[in-house]
Structure 1
Amino acid sequence: MIKPRLLYIIFLLFFAFESFGQVPGFFMEEEQNRVEMQFISNNNLIILPASINGGPKLNFLIDTGVKSNLLFSKTIGDQLDLFYSRKINLMGADGKTVLSASISPNNEIQMDGVVGRVQALLVLDEDFVELERVVGIPIHGVIGHEFFKLNPVRVDYDNNILTFFRENRFRRKPFGYKRMKMTLENGKPYVTSIIRQSPGPTLQAKLLIDTGANHGLLLNQETSEEIVLPERTLESDLGTSLGGDLTGEVGRVRKLTVGRLRFNDIITSYPDETQFSDIIIETGRLGSLGSDVLSRALIIYDYPQERLYYKRGRAYRQPFEFDMSGLTIRMPMIAEKRFFIEQIRSDSPAERSGFKVGDEIVAVNGIPVEFWNLPDVTELLRSRDGRRVKVEVHRIIKDAKVNLVKDLRLERQI
Structure 2
Amino acid sequence: MTLWRKILLFITVCLLSAATVPAQVPGFYQKKTEQKKTELPVIISNNLILVLVSINNGPPVNFLLDTGVKTNILFSKTFGDYIGLKYTRKLDLVGADGNSVLTASVSPNNYMDLGFLEGIHQTILVLDQDFMELERVIGLPVHGVLGFEFFKYNPVKIDYDQQMLTFYKPETLPRKPFGYKKYPIKIENSKPYIMTKVKQTNNQELNAKLLIDTGANHGLLLNMETTPEIKLPEAHIESELGRSLGGDLFGFVARTRLLQIGGIRFSDVLTSFPEETEFSYVIKESGRQGSVGSEILGRMTLIFDYTRDRMYMKKGSTYASPFEFDMSGITPRIEIGDEKIIYASQVRENSPAALAGLEEKDEFVKINKIPMDFWELPELIKLLRSEEGKEIFLEVRRFKDASRTDFELKEIKFKLKRQI
Scaled by the length of structure 2, the TM-score of the pair is: 0.92
Contact 1:24 1:117 in 2 (8 A): yes
Residue 286 (structure 1) aligns with = 289
Give the CA deviation at 1:21.
Answer: 9.2
Contact 2:99 2:277 in 1 (8 A): no
Which amino acid in the other structure matches residue 270 of structure 1? F
Residue 144 (structure 1) aligns with = 147
- The 1:34–1:335 alpha-carbon spacing in structure 2 relative to 1, beyond 3 Å, is farther
Superposition RMSD on alpha carbons, in Å?
Answer: 1.5
Residue 319 (structure 2) aligns with = 316
Q: Distance in 1 between matches of 2:154 and 2:355?
A: 52
Q: Distance in 1 between matches of 2:23 and 2:293?
A: 36
Residue 411 (structure 2) aligns with = 405
Q: Distance in 2 between matches of 1:136 and 1:167?
A: 35
Which amino acid in the other structure matches residue 22 of structure 1? Q
* 2:370 is the alignment partner of 1:367: yes
Give the CA deviation at 1:334.
Answer: 4.9
Which amino acid in the other structure matches residue 416 of structure 2? L
Q: Distance in 1 between matches of 2:41 and 2:394?
A: 34
Which amino acid in the other structure matches residue 31 of structure 2? E
Aligned positions of 1:19-34 closer than 5 A: 22-30=24-32, 31-34=34-37
What SS class does the counterpart of residue 120 from structure 1 fall into?
strand
* 1:235-262, Cα deviation, whole Å (9 max, x unpaired): 0111212222211000000011101111
Residue 88 (structure 1) aligns with = 91
Q: Distance in 2 between matches of 1:111 and 1:22?
A: 18
* 2:119 is the alignment partner of 1:116: yes
Q: Distance in 2 between matches of 1:169 and 1:207?
A: 29
Q: Distance in 2 between matches of 1:141 and 1:265?
A: 33
What SS class does the counterpart of residue 106 from structure 2 fall into?
strand
* 2:272 is the alignment partner of 1:266: no
Matching residue within 247, 250, 257 for 1:247: 250
Matching residue within 377, 380, 388 for 2:380: 377
Structure 1 residue ranges without an equivalent (≥5): 1-18
Contact 1:63 1:210 in 2 (8 A): yes
Residue 106 (structure 1) aligns with = 109
Contact 1:151 1:168 in 2 (8 A): no
Q: Distance in 2 between matches of 1:332 and 1:99?
A: 23
Q: Distance in 2 between matches of 1:131 and 1:75?
A: 17
Aligned positions of 1:14-413 closer than 5 A: 22-30=24-32, 31-397=34-400, 400-413=406-419
* 1:43-62, Cα deviation, whole Å (9 max, x unpaired): 00001111001111010000
What SS class does the counterpart of residue 47 from structure 1 fall into?
strand
Q: Distance in 1 between matches of 2:243 and 2:309?
A: 30
Contact 1:136 1:334 in 2 (8 A): no
Contact 1:200 1:228 in 2 (8 A): no
Which amino acid in the other structure matches residue 245 of structure 1? D
Contact 1:49 1:60 in 2 (8 A): yes
Scaled by the length of structure 1, the TM-score of the pair is: 0.93
Give the CA deviation at 1:172.
Answer: 1.8
Larger-gyration structure (1/2): 2
Q: Distance in 2 between matches of 1:20 and 1:335?
A: 45
Q: Distance in 2 between matches of 1:271 and 1:83?
A: 37
Contact 2:42 2:49 in 1 (8 A): yes
Give the CA deviation at 1:176.
Answer: 1.1
Q: Identity over the aligned pairs, expressed in percent?
A: 52
Q: Distance in 2 between matches of 1:20 and 1:170?
A: 19
Q: Distance in 1 between matches of 2:55 and 2:338?
A: 23
Which amino acid in the other structure matches residue 186 of structure 1? N
* 1:194-227, Cα deviation, whole Å (9 max, x unpaired): 1110115101111000000010000000011010
Contact 1:253 1:268 in 2 (8 A): yes
Give the CA deviation at 1:94.
Answer: 3.0
Contact 1:200 1:226 in 2 (8 A): no
Contact 2:99 2:279 in 1 (8 A): no
Pick 1 or 2: higher relative contact order, CA cutoff 8 A, min separation 6.
1
- Higher helix proportion: 2
Q: Distance in 2 between matches of 1:131 and 1:271?
A: 19
What SS class does the counterpart of residue 168 from structure 1 fall into?
helix
- The 1:139–1:335 alpha-carbon spacing in structure 2 relative to 1, beyond 3 Å, is farther
Give the CA deviation at 1:230.
Answer: 1.3
Give the CA deviation at 1:20.
Answer: 12
Give the CA deviation at 1:91.
Answer: 2.4
* 1:149-168, Cα deviation, whole Å (9 max, x unpaired): 00000000011001111122
Which amino acid in the other structure matches residue 417 of structure 2? E
Structure 2 residue ranges without an equivalent (≥5): 1-20
Higher mean displacement: 344-353 or 400-409: 400-409
Contact 1:133 1:334 in 2 (8 A): no
What SS class does the counterpart of residue 304 from structure 1 fall into?
helix
* 1:173-208, Cα deviation, whole Å (9 max, x unpaired): 111111111110011001111111011510111100
Which amino acid in the other structure matches residue 43 of structure 2? I
Which amino acid in the other structure matches residue 365 of structure 1? N
